[in-house]
Amino acid sequence: MSGAPIDLYFDFISPFAHLAWWRAPAIAARHGRTLRPRPVLFAALLGHYGHLGPAEIGPKRAYIFKQVLRRAAERGLTLRPPPAHPFNPLLALRIAGDPTLDAEAQRRVIGALFNATWGGGPGIDDPATVARILDAVGVDGHALVAAAGEAPAKARLRAETEAAIAAGVFGVPTLIADGELFWGDDSLDDLDRFLAGDDPIDQAALAAWADLPAAAQRRRS
């Protein structure tokens, strides 16, 4: 592989992150890049920016689940809802960033946790269940679950989330390639064009937006 890695910021709570996880590696490989997984806590991003999560807005929640089913059908992916949504993804996120995992083991672990969430699996918030899921992909599930409860794992996820915010990440999935941010599974085609050198953005035209004044301001309750 040549070229800088592409960072993929994700949270298992997002079905769009599930879709992106299974498509993004092929795009990266096509352009001689590696994909670097960056687990972050979506709820912390929402809190930082003062946003509601999609699942907290009834009509948006209904629309999103339809949309991900459409995208999954297009790609031949199995997509089933988790046992509950929203749910607590902290255990899985801490495991996904465990530094004892080599790149291949990390890929297997993240894939298994996504499938356990969105592929008809049992969910990922019960420690014993997560340990069994991890054992099935050839890693020590008990050890990883235990480590996820320790202070270093908690601090690592906080630091990763803070670094994502500092990099301008505001949602998941987000991919950053060569300093350029691509948000959402529907931005993967844009990423593909960018890596191929075919980004259609005219920088001069874009500059006109940088200092565009605001003529109105929404009242906030």
Is the pLDDT reported for residue 200 higher than 80?
A: yes
DSSP letter assigned to residue 20: H
DSSP secondary structure of 110-149: HHHHHHHHHBS---S-SHHHHHHHHHTTTS-HHHHHHHHT
Nearest to 22, CA basis, from 77, 73, 80:
77
Report the CATH number of the 6-210 domain: 3.40.30.10
- Nearest-5° Cα angle at 71, 46 to 108: 75
Residue 2: which pLDDT band, with cuts at 50, 70 and 90? low
The Cα 39–Cα 144 span in angstroms is: 15
Is the pLDDT reported for residue 158 higher than 60?
A: yes
The Cα 1–Cα 14 span in angstroms is: 29
For residue 200, count CB atoms less than 10 angstroms from its CB and return exposed for 0-12, middle for 13-18, buried for 19 or more: exposed
Q: Which of 93-107, 154-168, 198-212 has the lowest mean pLDDT?
A: 198-212
Question: In this predicted structure, what is the pLDDT of residue 218?
Answer: 83
DSSP secondary structure of 68-121: HHHHHHHHT---B--SSSS---HHHHHHHT-TTS-HHHHHHHHHHHHHHHHBS-
Distance of CA 126 to the CA centre of its chain: 21
Mean pLDDT across 70-90:
95
**Residue ranges of the domains in the chain?**
6-210
Mean pLDDT across 99-111:
98
The Cα 141–Cα 9 span in angstroms is: 23
Is the pLDDT reported for residue 221 higher than 90?
A: no
Decide: 20 and 27 in contact? Cβ < 8 Å. no
Determine if the peptide bond prior to 5 is cis (ω within 30°): no
Is the pLDDT reported for residue 97 higher than 70?
A: yes
Residue that wins the pLDDT comparison between 197 and 2:
197
Question: In this predicted structure, what is the pLDDT of residue 193?
Answer: 97
Decide: 107 and 97 in contact? Cβ < 8 Å. no
Element spanning 38, H or E: strand 35-39
Decide: 113 and 124 in contact? Cβ < 8 Å. yes
DSSP secondary structure of 137-203: TTS-HHHHHHHHTSHHHHHHHHHHHHHHHHTT--SSSEEEETTEEEESGGGHHHHHHHHTT-----H
The Cα 38–Cα 30 span in angstroms is: 20
